[in-house]
């Protein structure tokens, strides 16, 4: 609506003399991308945080040309190609809110995807990835983080039973001194809607995900080395955010 348009325009007035920010938010599952991404959006005047999963679903729902291609592949149980994912990003870049840049979350996941992204950005007005923020956390710390994580599906807001519980969370005492969460009490602070746990947020799935992360995605850091800024994400949230702010200014 007109009010949102005006708000976007006012935010972008602040950014018009800056280079276009194309930022990759990078890190293993559970590093804090879902927590700090929205704060980076605010810090950068409202440029969007783009999740390839969300964009893919939106393209299919809108029945765009590339969305139809992706839908037919997924119906047959196939994996959507890098070419199609890059095309979906390319289409999304045309929207007004991407005029001064965007934050990529969850892409690229492989060196080949990074190279395909670079090629597309160069073809579209000599843009390039301006910064990679790497959230670094030891593998040993991630299990507790991930297996305690709950998500509000509609907004992607992230909660944690130990570090950032929803206000509604209730516990029950089991036999002995142990306690467990009352699942029905896990509600989003803002909407009151139920939270979910992702099927791959389990110890077994995590081992596979971390193996994949180290083998396939860490080489991307070498590829983007001049623009990589590493943040110690194994500390209190306030400390992580301070390091991100410093990294963004470097």
> Exactly one of 87, 92, 145, 209 is catalytic; which is it?
209
User: What are 172's two structure tokens?
Assistant: 């029950």
Output the CA–CA distances (angstroms, integers) from residue 180 to 91, 99, 169, 173, 183, in the order listed.
Answer: 45, 47, 11, 7, 9
Examine the residue annotation and report whether 92 is marked as an active-site residue of this protein.
Answer: no
Examine the residue annotation and report whether 242 is marked as an active-site residue of this protein.
Answer: no
For residue 247, count CB atoms less than 10 angstroms from its CB and return exposed for 0-12, middle for 13-18, buried for 19 or more.
middle
> What is the spatial distance between Cα 203 and Cα 162, in angstroms, rounded to a whole number?
17
> Exactly one of 68, 153, 198, 208 is catalytic; which is it?
198
Examine the residue annotation and report whether 198 is marked as an active-site residue of this protein.
Answer: yes
Examine the residue annotation and report whether 149 is marked as an active-site residue of this protein.
Answer: yes
> Exactly one of 20, 131, 145, 149 is catalytic; which is it?
149
Examine the residue annotation and report whether 20 is marked as an active-site residue of this protein.
Answer: no
> Exactly one of 33, 87, 131, 145 is catalytic; which is it?
33
SS (H, E, C) the chain: CHHHHHHHHHHHHCCCCCCCEEEEEECCCCCCHHHHHHHHHHHCCCCCEEEHHHHHHHHHHHCCHHHHHHHHHHHCCCCCCHHHHHHHHHHHHCCHHHCCEEEEECCCCCHHHHHHHHHHHHHCCCCCCCEEEEEECCHHHHHHHHHCEEEECCCCEEEECCCECCCCCCEEECCCCCEEECHHHCECCCCCCECECCCCCCHHHHHHHHHHHHHHHHHHHHHCHHHEEEEECCCCHHHHHHHHHHHHHC
Catalytic residue annotation = 33, 109, 149, 198, 209
């Amino acid at each position: 609506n007109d009010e949102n348009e005006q708000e976007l325009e006012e935010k972008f007035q602040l950014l018009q003399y800056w280079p276009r920010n194309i930022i990759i938010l990078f890190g293993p599952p559970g590093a804090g991308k879902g927590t700090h991404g929205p704060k980076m959006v605010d810090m950068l005047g409202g440029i969007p945080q783009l999740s390839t999963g969300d964009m893919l679903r939106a393209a299919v729902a809108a029945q765009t040309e590339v969305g139809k291609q992706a839908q037919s592949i997924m119906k047959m149980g196939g994996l959507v190609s890098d070419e199609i994912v890059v095309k979906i990003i390319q289409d999304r870049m045309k929207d007004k809110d991407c005029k001064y840049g965007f934050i990529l979350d969850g892409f690229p996941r492989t060196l080949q995807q990074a190279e395909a992204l670079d090629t597309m950005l160069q073809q579209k007005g000599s843009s390039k990835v301006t910064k990679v923020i790497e959230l670094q956390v030891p593998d040993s710390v991630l299990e507790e983080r991930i297996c305690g994580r709950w998500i509000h599906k509609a907004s992607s807001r992230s909660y944690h039973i130990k570090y950032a519980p929803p206000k509604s969370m209730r516990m029950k005492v089991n036999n002995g001194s142990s306690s467990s969460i009352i699942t029905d009490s896990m509600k989003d602070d803002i909407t009151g809607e139920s939270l979910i746990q992702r099927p791959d947020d389990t110890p077994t799935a995590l081992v596979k995900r971390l193996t994949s992360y180290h083998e396939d995605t860490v080489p991307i850091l070498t590829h983007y080395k001049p623009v990589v800024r590493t943040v110690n994400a194994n500390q209190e949230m306030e400390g992580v955010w301070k390091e991100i702010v410093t990294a963004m200014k470097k």
